[in-house]
A = this chain, B = another copy of it.
Amino acid sequence: MTVPAENGVPKVGPSVRMGSGVEFDLIRRLLGPPTDLGPAVVVGPGDDAAVVDLRRAVLSTDLTIEGVHFRRTWLTFAEAASRAVVAAASDLAAMAASPVAILVSLAVAPDQSDTVGELGEGIRSAARLLGVPLVGGDLTASPGPVVINVTVLGETEAPVTRSGATPGDEIWVTGVLGGSAGAVSAWREGSEPDAELREAFVVPKARIEEARWLVERGGVRAMIDLSDGLVGDAGHLAAASGVRIVLDPQAVPVHPGLTKKHASRLAMFGGEDYELCIVGEAGVFQPIVGSFKERFGAELTRVGYVEEGDGVHARTDEGLTRIVAGGFDHFASSSSC
């Protein structure tokens, strides 16, 4: 059912333009050539719903809107769509779950059907990298901005939540932080970010295997992916676990592409790096830093610890300072609920 719009959306009711078949071509383009759906998918795309065999389903959904989460002058639509899939998959990494299938809802202005092809390309490329099939979705007209909603279905035997942190535990992060925020910062100042900062924003990595590997080593108490920034997400961990998290700003691994001036601030508060923040039993992770780097080509860095209390604090030369700000304003950005 369609409300008439200025921009060429066909009218509904007795005078509706009848089935042009446009959508089916678009959906076919979105899906691309048939791919192997894997053993878990019982019914794939093309029916009212997808059917997947699972024991313990893990689900997350993530909304990306043009003009809010990205601008089309910053990245291609294929890149925006691919990034949206990775961002959704990252929530599964944070639960130590493996993605099994994705569903994508798209809204595109009626006069931009080429955009559907580009978005589909990005979605399929991200799905291929994750090794999961696209099992369903929805395609609709947009009154303006491109809208991408990605739902990722995964599976886990032993989910890792945000609520397992206990006093004495250590706080660790994967990779380097602030790169994504550094790129946005450059764009906002009207310049083009360095290639490696741009890459941090445009092609983040969902740390799926890293999360599972760490959990297999043992000692993981709680985990979150860094979408709202280290301080913001540490705040979520602290709140969910009923503990205080103390961060050492000097220890936080800063993206090497950041200029010194804002580096620490961006690494502490910048969102959407999609690295993992792991709460680990004391002493468990230090011995595996080397093998983690060897295996995944990324750092594993201790950035703080857990103690009794609440909120997020910074250890500075003057002692502990409560970081009152919780990171970005999430309502204006985005966050799982």
A positions within 8 Å CB-CB of B: 1-5, 9-14, 16-24, 26-27, 30-31, 42-43, 45-71, 91-92, 94-95, 97, 101, 103-107, 110, 113, 135-145, 147, 149, 151-154, 156, 159, 161-163, 180-181, 184-185, 188, 201, 223-225, 232, 235, 240, 262, 265-266, 269-272, 324-337
Contacts and interface: CB of A to CB of B under 8 A. Distances in A.
Contact of A59 (B26, B31, B136): B136
Report the copy number of this chain in the oligomer: 2
Contacts of A138: 61-63, 149, 334-337
A137 B63 CA distance: 9
A329 B23 contact: yes
B326 A59 contact: no
15 contacts: A2-B69, A16-B328, A19-B330, A47-B163, A48-B95, A49-B58, A49-B95, A49-B97, A59-B153, A61-B149, A62-B138, A63-B138, A65-B140, A140-B333, A147-B147
Contacts of A329: 2, 10, 16-20, 22-23
B101 A59 contact: yes
Nearest to A13: B185
Contacts of A16: 269, 328-329
A265 B23 CA distance: 22
Given A49-B94, A327-B18, A333-B2, A151 B55 contact: no
A182 to B, nearest CB: 8
Contact of A331 (B3, B26, B135, B136): B26
Contacts of A64: 140
Contacts of A55: 53-55
B68 A141 contact: yes
A67 B110 contact: no
